[in-house]
A and B are shown apart, each in its own frame.
Chain A
């Protein structure tokens, strides 16, 4: 035991002391690897330089010292996570049985299954995507993959790329900056209301995308958009690190809703970073359902920079056996009359652990602002865990702030009541859990809500013994 600890400490020490010249040693990520990625991506020179700078930052930062234990992530082997193409390819036979079963139960078509598992050719929703794209481009909306955006819209990308989430934020953001690949770019011009939700699901990229994907969305003044990321099918990746980055710019009087249903396979470490800058009288809404991954550290953040800016976060995490989901929300009130509403829920069962971790900061200039936080946890047995770690940093008296937290269990009385109406014990529990999740599912488009309910049923299956 002692030896183990010593070893881990030494590894961290090694990383800390690396300098540029040591990049070329085999451990860690080398400049060569980054150059290789950049070349394959056909990066313009500014992006190539950006990646290399991010690599420097990556090497200078430490792993987070709080939150779930990430020691299983071997930082010395990190190069194998980020080497592009060939090495990441898996075969259908390598995809675990439970994932294949879940695909079946969710009724996912064959071609799509393979694409989700990262082993197939591009899914033919391309057609849907293209017709949608045509419709949007008539309105001046740009919706494309991130690589294309870098090449075709360099000015917009340069002005926004990793400006909202700077590479110095934390080690995994720096890593992302160096190795990012794939993702979505959306630009909605001033005053344009996009009336159909855009779904990243319609445009699955190359097999290895979805690991370090970059999403950049700019909603100009008075424009509005609903963007949906991910889908309920378990996304399988042989390599087990996901460090995506989402940057959202919601300009004055604009509206953006960003919905996510995430169901990473249970070997995944999901260390994703999402942030929104919200302008005057603009609205940013987050809807988030986290089901998958082994460990998640996910804290979407809104920075309310304009007077009257609003944000709302509605999220649910569901942790089963072996899962540690550390999720929450961060908000900075940085202008007067800003408001935020947080409604966070978590469910844990079979020894799963959910932590709600949040930050509310209300700056001195944010007079007459409002913030209300509510978090509710449901534990389905005695061996699961649920924790709430809220931090608030309020620097003015002229605010309304409220925080409510509750941790509950399903009572035997409630189960008896439902059973007396003909529901089996399993049905009764599933109904209670679906009801608990309803405030989140009602915010999703109907097909996603149905998928989420299916997912809850699948997660609960076999848990009543």
Chain B
């Protein structure tokens, strides 16, 4: 937490429906540059909905509230424009794209995000460096994106994309789920490599393992579509020990 705060993302009183069902019921959240936030909560509490709503996934509809990124309301922007403004989301289940290699995909996406041609040599070097640091098999570069990748490989690939695309805000939706201890360490390492005082990270998770090796500024507990508690890293520890029961009581289903 630096002294000077600069607002990056602000969510004001957000209500979101998925398939006619109200999932988010008035979320408020502010993320400043240089911060790492964590949203925790049991299954079905609305964590992923929050991430999808920020990216304006058409499967979710906002019924009330505002999402403001760098001072601009992005409620209705198409997903690709939101991405070009500098918001990235790591997917829980990344999609497979047969016939498109990891390299070509990233080159293409980087072109779109920066809106100028990628310098091939520099790009290759960068890609190689990141893949080494994430313990990724260099042969994956030429494989079709996510096709035949193990769960761990897919998640690492998401982190690789985050590093290459270098967004201002990275949202990691359950990036740690289903990973073994070593893979979690690698993912945290990737996040550490990414973060600086100009960008921010929002981690969405239902367990606390990934937080052991990460510096976290804020932890929010999301229950039944509402943030019921916000505190520092110590809150994650508390939840690890005591679970969500304490927060579930008093929140209407």
Give chain A residues whose Cβ lies under 8 Å from the Cβ of B109: 421-423
A436 at the interface (CB under 8 A from B): yes
B78 at the interface (CB under 8 A from A): yes
The answer to whether A414 touches B83 (Cβ under 8 A) is: no
Q: Closest residue to A440 on the B side, CB-wise?
A: B99
The answer to whether A435 touches B99 (Cβ under 8 A) is: yes
The answer to whether B94 touches A438 (Cβ under 8 A) is: no
CB distance from B114 to the nearest CB of A (A): 9
Give chain A residues whose Cβ lies under 8 Å from the Cβ of B112: 421-424, 427
Q: Mark B152-164, 1 if CB is under 8 A from A, else 0.
A: 0000000001000
The answer to whether A422 touches B94 (Cβ under 8 A) is: no
Q: Closest residue to B80 on the A side, CB-wise?
A: A419
Please tell me which one of the listed residues B78, B82, B94, B165 contacts residue A417 in the complex, with CB atoms under 8 A apart.
B94
Q: Mark A421-441, 1 if CB is under 8 A from B, else 0.
A: 111110100011011111100
- Bound CA–CA A418/B84 (angstroms): 12
The answer to whether A420 touches B83 (Cβ under 8 A) is: yes
Give chain B residues whose Cβ lies under 8 Å from the Cβ of A420: 55, 79-80, 82-83, 88-89, 91
A138 at the interface (CB under 8 A from B): no
- Bound CA–CA A413/B79 (angstroms): 12
Chain B: interface residue total (CB-CB under 8 A) = 27
A416 at the interface (CB under 8 A from B): yes
The answer to whether B108 touches A423 (Cβ under 8 A) is: yes
A412 at the interface (CB under 8 A from B): yes
* Highest count of chain A CB atoms <10 Å: which of B57, B91, B99, B112: B99
Please tell me which one of the listed residues B57, B98, B144, B161 contacts residue A421 in the complex, with CB atoms under 8 A apart.
B161
Please tell me which one of the listed residues B83, B97, B98, B99 contacts residue A422 in the complex, with CB atoms under 8 A apart.
B83
Q: Closest residue to A436 on the B side, CB-wise?
A: B99
CB within 8 Å of B: which A208-241 residues: none
Q: Closest residue to B91 on the A side, CB-wise?
A: A417
CB distance from A301 to the nearest CB of B (A): 27
- Bound CA–CA A431/B145 (angstroms): 12
B59 at the interface (CB under 8 A from A): yes
The answer to whether A422 touches B84 (Cβ under 8 A) is: yes
> Given the known A-B contacts A416-B57, A427-B112, A435-B144, are A422 and B80 also in contact in the complex, defined by CB atoms under 8 Å?
yes
B136 at the interface (CB under 8 A from A): no
Main secondary structure of the interface of B (DSSP, over half): mixed
B113 at the interface (CB under 8 A from A): yes
B232 at the interface (CB under 8 A from A): no
CB distance from A430 to the nearest CB of B (A): 10
Q: Mark B161-175, 1 if CB is under 8 A from A, else 0.
A: 100010000000000
- Bound CA–CA A425/B80 (angstroms): 8
- Bound CA–CA A423/B108 (angstroms): 8
Give chain B residues whose Cβ lies under 8 Å from the Cβ of A412: 58-59
The answer to whether A438 touches B98 (Cβ under 8 A) is: yes
CB distance from B99 to the nearest CB of A (A): 3
Chain A: interface residue total (CB-CB under 8 A) = 23
CB within 8 Å of A: which B51-110 residues: 55, 57-59, 78-80, 82-84, 88-89, 91, 94-95, 97-100, 105, 108-109
Give chain B residues whose Cβ lies under 8 Å from the Cβ of A425: 78, 80
Give chain B residues whose Cβ lies under 8 Å from the Cβ of A437: 99
The answer to whether B99 touches A421 (Cβ under 8 A) is: no
Give chain A residues whose Cβ lies under 8 Å from the Cβ of B105: 421, 431
CB distance from B55 to the nearest CB of A (A): 5
CB distance from B118 to the nearest CB of A (A): 12
Q: Closest residue to A426 on the B side, CB-wise?
A: B80
The answer to whether A416 touches B97 (Cβ under 8 A) is: no
- Bound CA–CA A439/B98 (angstroms): 9
CB distance from A446 to the nearest CB of B (A): 14
Give chain A residues whose Cβ lies under 8 Å from the Cβ of B88: 420
The answer to whether B100 touches A423 (Cβ under 8 A) is: no
Give chain B residues whose Cβ lies under 8 Å from the Cβ of A438: 98-100
> Given the known A-B contacts A412-B58, A427-B112, A438-B100, are A421 and B165 also in contact in the complex, defined by CB atoms under 8 Å?
yes
The answer to whether A439 touches B80 (Cβ under 8 A) is: no
Please tell me which one of the listed residues A418, A422, A435 contacts residue B113 in the complex, with CB atoms under 8 A apart.
A422
Give chain A residues whose Cβ lies under 8 Å from the Cβ of B82: 420
- Bound CA–CA A48/B235 (angstroms): 94
The answer to whether A421 touches B59 (Cβ under 8 A) is: no
- Bound CA–CA A432/B95 (angstroms): 11
CB distance from A409 to the nearest CB of B (A): 14
- Bound CA–CA A421/B81 (angstroms): 9
The answer to whether A414 touches B95 (Cβ under 8 A) is: yes
The answer to whether B100 touches A434 (Cβ under 8 A) is: yes
Q: Mark A85-129, 1 if CB is under 8 A from B, else 0.
A: 000000000000000000000000000000000000000000000
> Given the known A-B contacts A413-B95, A422-B109, A423-B112, are A431 and B100 also in contact in the complex, defined by CB atoms under 8 Å?
yes
> Given the known A-B contacts A431-B100, A431-B108, are A416 and B58 also in contact in the complex, defined by CB atoms under 8 Å?
yes
- Bound CA–CA A421/B113 (angstroms): 7
The answer to whether A435 touches B95 (Cβ under 8 A) is: no
- Bound CA–CA A421/B109 (angstroms): 6
The answer to whether A419 touches B83 (Cβ under 8 A) is: yes
- Bound CA–CA A422/B105 (angstroms): 11
The answer to whether A435 touches B97 (Cβ under 8 A) is: yes
Give chain B residues whose Cβ lies under 8 Å from the Cβ of A423: 80, 108-109, 112
CB distance from A344 to the nearest CB of B (A): 15
- Bound CA–CA A437/B98 (angstroms): 9
Q: Closest residue to B59 on the A side, CB-wise?
A: A412
Q: Mark A261-293, 1 if CB is under 8 A from B, else 0.
A: 000000000000000000000000000000000
The answer to whether B79 touches A416 (Cβ under 8 A) is: yes
CB within 8 Å of A: which B187-239 residues: none
The answer to whether B78 touches A419 (Cβ under 8 A) is: yes
Give chain B residues whose Cβ lies under 8 Å from the Cβ of A422: 80, 83-84, 109, 112-113, 165
Q: Mark A398-416, 1 if CB is under 8 A from B, else 0.
A: 0000000000000111101
The answer to whether A432 touches B97 (Cβ under 8 A) is: yes
- Bound CA–CA A434/B84 (angstroms): 23
CB distance from A376 to the nearest CB of B (A): 9
The answer to whether A436 touches B165 (Cβ under 8 A) is: no
The answer to whether B100 touches A435 (Cβ under 8 A) is: yes
Listed from nearest, the 5 A-B pairs whose CB atoms lie closest are A435-B99, A438-B99, A422-B112, A419-B79, A435-B100
In the assembled complex, 12 residue pairs joining A and B whose CB atoms fall closer than 8 Å, in A order, are A412-B58, A413-B95, A414-B95, A418-B95, A419-B83, A420-B55, A420-B82, A420-B83, A421-B113, A421-B165, A435-B99, A438-B100
Other than the known A417-B94, A420-B55, A421-B105, what 18 A-B pairs have Cβ atoms closer than 8 Å? A412-B58, A419-B79, A419-B83, A420-B88, A420-B89, A421-B83, A421-B165, A422-B80, A422-B83, A422-B109, A423-B108, A424-B78, A424-B112, A431-B97, A431-B108, A432-B100, A435-B144, A438-B100
